[in-house]
Chains A and B, each alone.
Chain A
Amino acid sequence: MAFQSILLDQPEGCRERSDCPTCFSDLNLDQIVKAVTAGKEEYNLQSFFYAALNEENAILYRQDILKDLEKQSVFSILQTFANQMKEVRKHVALSEKLYYHYSKEGWFLQAVRIYCNAVSQLAGSLSAAELHSDGLKNFCTYGNDVIRSESFQTLQDTAERLNSDLSAIQYCILIRGNCVRVQKSESEPDYSQDVAATFEKFRQGAVKDYRITYKHEKGMNSVESRIIECVAKLYPEIFTGLDDFCTKYSDFQEPKIRDFDREIQFYVSYLEYIAPLKQSGLEFCYPAVLTECRDIHVEQGFDLLLAKKLLSSGSAVVANDFELNGKERALIISGPNQGGKTTFARAFGQIHYLAALGYPVPGRSAKLLLFDRIYTHFEREEEMKNLSGKLQDDLIRIHAVLNQATANSIIIMNEIFSSTTLQDAILLGKKVMEQIRRLESVCVFVTFIDEMATLNDTTVSMVSTIVPDNPTERTYRIIRKAPDGLAYALSIAEKYRLTDSCIKERIQL
């Protein structure tokens, strides 16, 4: 099959979207995208992140490409190519920005040379590399067709010849007062060496370097330009050839090559982002995609953004396991505050979304749902102003979610109904969960309400844990077990000597 795009194997299908999915900010995916694409703004990669795939084949197409790219030999081929193409753009931009005629043309010529070299080198290197993915293999074939084409060959040959002609030019300038005279060079002796030789006998030890370092602008000033105009008159054939070249090849880049350069960065950027995490011992895996059942399973998953932050501050990253079996559809997360509940919920969403982009995900192994959409409902600071308004707002939003969600949707709710009484919260929570149970959507529900944890046989209770001896210390480990809020309360009370017996002891009758 002819090469289409490195992001999709089918000509139809959506590889980029302009609008950001609503779940992005709740799951911190917006920050992840920002971090992954940092320094690569010129590629405008965000829109690729907004288009999650919902076909297994499309995901596998990307996973295969990424597996190829994880080989350092292949990865460095593409890094080289990317750097060269960056140079091409820089040179073209420079050529457009500059003022003087021969200056513009000179930089344009360099842009073409770098481009030709980049494409030839890429096609050659990929042919020699061991590739397994359809995507890269197809592109390799395409690239070799390009460089063998007559038009490309002519372009490259002409550029090289012009360049060597120009580099061979040697000229002399005589500056006398305000008069400048330019002519061809005739091997006059180097006078500086002559001076140095005369005083050679005095040479003692090392001396200061009196040379002034000139910072050369890329462009020319008026005098340089006028000198080059004189040089052009001394070598008219070469400079006419340059003029013709620049007119003829103003649009020299193959569109598909240019797209490839941009799209491959979707992979490169992510691999670069996770490389230090992998190096520190965190594991990533290519997830299996679940289309039929809901037996979601993740071993040692973690929040990608938080892991990066912890790593840079030298702290340990806590990874968690989770799974749903058979009829189970919902993970109910409870336990002490600051215990990693929200992080857990985010990681659940992130891992699913990253998988839908075709990426390897945080975790030792993963089986994930091929979702149609991720709905999130996280509490937000700005909504705390008006309590009654917030409850109403919560319900409206949940209603909207429940109207749209399907059995293939993922719903992540974090501390909703915190703005009402416990009785209300329990009641509303139970109702919402019942709805979700009927929809058969997969759900993560972070709550402070223990009663929610054991609603029915589709829910799984998971609890954030503490260090038994020191209740104020968090493990950030979320484990599958019934809520034990009381145990936690007891231990922390003991620490402050506020348990039943402690208080009795302290207050003597």
Chain B
Amino acid sequence: MKVFLMYRDRDFELKKELPWNQEALFQDLELGTLLKTMAQDDEFLYQVSKEAVFTSLNDRESILYRQEILKDCMANPDVVRQLYTLSVQAQEAPKGHYWGTFVHFPNAILDSSVEVMSVLMDILKSIRAVGDTHSGAFVSGGFQRFWEMIREELSDDYFETVRQHLKDLKFNGGVLISAELTEGNKGTDYVLRKSAQTKQRWLERLFGTNAPAFSFYITDRDESGMRALSEIRDEGINLAANALSQSTEHVLSFFEMLRTELAFYIGCINLSEQLQHIGEPLAYPDPTDTGERYHCFQNLYDVCLALTKKESIIGNNLNCNDKSLILITGANQGGKSTFLRSIGLAQLMMQCGMFVPAESFQAGICTGLYTHYRREEDSTLESGKLDEELGRMSEIVDHLSPNALILFNESFAATNEREGSEIARQIVRALLERQMKLFFVTHLYEFAHDLFVHKTSQMIFLRAERQDDGQRTFQLAEGEPLKTSFGEDLYEKIFCESKQGG
């Protein structure tokens, strides 16, 4: 039995290796804010959300598979939460039993497994009941498969078979064990047996007169004899105890998988509720195949900023389809970093099957998301800082494959403008040739200007708006890179005016 609510054909496993650059992504995109909102103080939800967000899907179909399930969850949040609660209860079933703890006797292992399995079966019955009542409200392929599996595998007959086993495994009629002789005429290969016939006839046959049999009793005083006997009995039920314990573990891992996969959707429900609360829109993104250059959105906002401010914020509208380089220049505090972050977050959210913070969003699937941000901390040694930056860049290049998305934020500014520009130019040119998609926020005028002069159809130049009165709109619009030194602007302006005047 498989849950398969995260992938069509495989489990969503926790503790998989996350991308090597997850720390950088976490920091640069301020993912903590997003994940905390999804988790709502639940550590497990946090962990699952984090791993899901970092484990990007790379094809449209897988993304849509999750989107459909997510839509079901958003439509039936109470049923999904009920399922989740049941899976949590199941995981707590072993508590208070000796099951799974350090036990040396198959007898004890078996007894505790029988107890735990009984509890688990009750919970499975509850899940069946939930399905019987609510499955009709679910339309996604994933959930339809799930409910059908529950209906088929967990039939009334099956529950009856299990009940009978759990009863038989208490061995009220004695333990029947087959054995052979090994070296030294010692009994070996003890195997638990069950007669194919009914219990009544089995006992009849065994104690009856037809087959020769010999028996003996061990007196109550004979403690070592009793111990020896129970050891043989234990060896006989050893495999059965193992089988039931392992089965118990399997059932528990089914519940663990259910809990894990639902946790992601619970996280999404939590997030949507918060965004609804502050009045921000969400959209199910339209992912386009890897290699296609799409990026087109309405009111794409920085979800983390919205969650932090707890208010609706201004988003961006943009169509940069067919573009591979989006170069962003403009005023400080003009919303460049926020924009860059919203691009990164939307990409990650889209590629893990979530909705995105926008009114509409269409983008190409990338093979990997990388951030190269200027790090503020170690600004002591300029040359050391450039080393550090280039080191990180080199590490990114080690991991790149075509159609990766790379977000640069004021990179290579740790040296003078001419050197920084040349470095940036060479890197950008090479990456474009290698079919990367780049968002580059920069203050390097020489670099930006040079690109603008040699502009190709795959480039688009955005500028942080600044109104004439100096107010910032936090919106970006297409525009030629400007020299950012407004003092110089002023100087030139005065000189030009005085010339004209003269």
Shortest distance from the beta carbon of A92 to any chain B beta carbon, whole Å: 12
Tell whether A244 is near chain B: CB-to-CB under 8 Å: no
A212 touches B253 (CB 8 A): no
Residue of B nearest to A194 (CB): B194
Point out the residues of chain B lying under 8 angstroms from A208, CB to CB. Answer: 100, 245-246, 249
Shortest distance from the beta carbon of B20 to any chain A beta carbon, whole Å: 25
A190 touches B193 (CB 8 A): yes
Tell me the bound Cα distance from A211 to B103 in angstroms.
10
A192 touches B191 (CB 8 A): yes
A181 touches B213 (CB 8 A): yes
Chain B 208-221 interface mask (CB, 8 Å, partner A; 1/0) = 00011111111110
Q: Which of B186, B239, B257 contacts A204 (CB 8 A)?
A: B257
Point out the residues of chain B lying under 8 angstroms from A185, CB to CB. Answer: 178
Tell whether A170 is near chain B: CB-to-CB under 8 Å: yes
Shortest distance from the beta carbon of B109 to any chain A beta carbon, whole Å: 6
Which of B169-177, B272-280, B326-334, B466-474 forms part of the interface with chain A?
B169-177
Q: Would you list which residues of chain A between 177 and 219 have a CB under 8 Å from chain B? A: 177-186, 188-196, 198-199, 201-205, 207-212, 214, 216, 218-219
Shortest distance from the beta carbon of B5 to any chain A beta carbon, whole Å: 15
A107 touches B180 (CB 8 A): no
Tell whether A233 is near chain B: CB-to-CB under 8 Å: yes
Residue of A nearest to B241 (CB): A210
Tell me the bound Cα distance from A224 to B187 in angstroms.
7
A220 touches B175 (CB 8 A): no
Q: Would you list which residues of chain A between 435 and 464 have a CB under 8 Å from chain B? A: none
Q: Which of A102, A169, A220 contacts B180 (CB 8 A)?
A: A169
Q: Which of A103, A191, A207, A214 contacts B184 (CB 8 A)?
A: A103
Point out the residues of chain B lying under 8 angstroms from A202, CB to CB. Answer: 1, 247, 250-251, 253-254
B186 touches A230 (CB 8 A): no
Q: Would you list which residues of chain B between 161 and 195 have a CB under 8 Å from chain A? A: 161-162, 165, 169, 173-188, 191-195
A182 touches B241 (CB 8 A): no
Q: Which of B104, B232, B242, B245 contacts A223 (CB 8 A)?
A: B232
Tell me the bound Cα distance from A170 to B187 in angstroms.
10
Q: Would you list which residues of chain A between 117 and 170 have a CB under 8 Å from chain B? A: 166-167, 169-170
B193 touches A188 (CB 8 A): yes
A191 touches B251 (CB 8 A): no
Q: A106-B184, A219-B184 are in contact. Are A192 and B228 (CB under 8 A)?
A: no
A207 touches B250 (CB 8 A): yes
Residue of A nearest to B109 (CB): A210
A179 touches B217 (CB 8 A): yes
Tell whether A384 is near chain B: CB-to-CB under 8 Å: no
B193 touches A199 (CB 8 A): no
Q: A192-B192, A208-B249 are in contact. Are A224 and B225 (CB under 8 A)?
A: no
Tell whether A35 is near chain B: CB-to-CB under 8 Å: no
Tell whether A234 is near chain B: CB-to-CB under 8 Å: yes
Number of A-B contacts (CB under 8 A): 221
A201 touches B229 (CB 8 A): no
Q: A106-B186, A223-B232 are in contact. Are A181 and B250 (CB under 8 A)?
A: no
Tell whether B267 is near chain A: CB-to-CB under 8 Å: no
A178 touches B212 (CB 8 A): no
Point out the residues of chain A lying under 8 angstroms from B496, CB to CB. Answer: none
Tell me the bound Cα distance from A186 to B11 in angstroms.
44
Tell whether B207 is near chain A: CB-to-CB under 8 Å: yes
Tell me the bound Cα distance from A361 to B195 in angstroms.
71
Tell whether A110 is near chain B: CB-to-CB under 8 Å: yes
Residue of A nearest to B222 (CB): A222
Point out the residues of chain B lying under 8 angstroms from A226, CB to CB. Answer: 216
Tell whether B51 is near chain A: CB-to-CB under 8 Å: no
Tell me the bound Cα distance from A196 to B169 in angstroms.
12
A230 touches B214 (CB 8 A): yes
Tell me the bound Cα distance from A105 to B183 in angstroms.
10
Bin the interface of chain A by size: 35 or more
Q: Which of B100, B105, B244 contacts A195 (CB 8 A)?
A: B244
Shortest distance from the beta carbon of A163 to any chain B beta carbon, whole Å: 9
Q: Would you list which residues of chain A between 62 and 120 have a CB under 8 Å from chain B? A: 94, 98, 102-103, 105-107, 110
Residue of A nearest to B154 (CB): A201
B214 touches A199 (CB 8 A): no
Point out the residues of chain B lying under 8 angstroms from A103, CB to CB. Answer: 184-186
Tell me the bound Cα distance from A209 to B182 in angstroms.
25
Tell whether A176 is near chain B: CB-to-CB under 8 Å: yes
Shortest distance from the beta carbon of B471 to any chain A beta carbon, whole Å: 58
Residue of B nearest to A181 (CB): B215
Tell me the bound Cα distance from A214 to B217 in angstroms.
24
Tell whether A51 is near chain B: CB-to-CB under 8 Å: no
Tell whether A175 is near chain B: CB-to-CB under 8 Å: yes
Residue of B nearest to A186 (CB): B211
B211 touches A173 (CB 8 A): no
Residues of B at the A interface (CB closer than 8 Å) are 1, 11, 100, 104-106, 109, 153, 161-162, 165, 169, 173-188, 191-196, 206-207, 211-220, 222, 224-226, 228-229, 231-236, 238-247, 249-251, 253-254, 257
Query: 17 other contacts beyond A105-B185, A204-B11, A214-B231, with CB at 8 A cut-off?
Result: A177-B174, A178-B217, A179-B215, A190-B192, A191-B192, A196-B246, A199-B250, A199-B251, A204-B257, A207-B246, A210-B242, A211-B106, A212-B238, A218-B183, A220-B185, A220-B186, A224-B232
- 5 nearest CB pairs, A to B: A176-B174, A199-B247, A106-B185, A183-B213, A188-B193
Contact sample, A vs B, 28 pairs, CB 8 Å cutoff: A105-B185, A106-B184, A170-B179, A171-B179, A173-B178, A175-B174, A175-B175, A178-B226, A180-B217, A181-B206, A188-B194, A189-B196, A191-B240, A192-B192, A195-B169, A196-B246, A198-B162, A199-B244, A208-B245, A211-B106, A211-B239, A218-B183, A222-B225, A223-B229, A224-B228, A228-B181, A228-B186, A233-B214
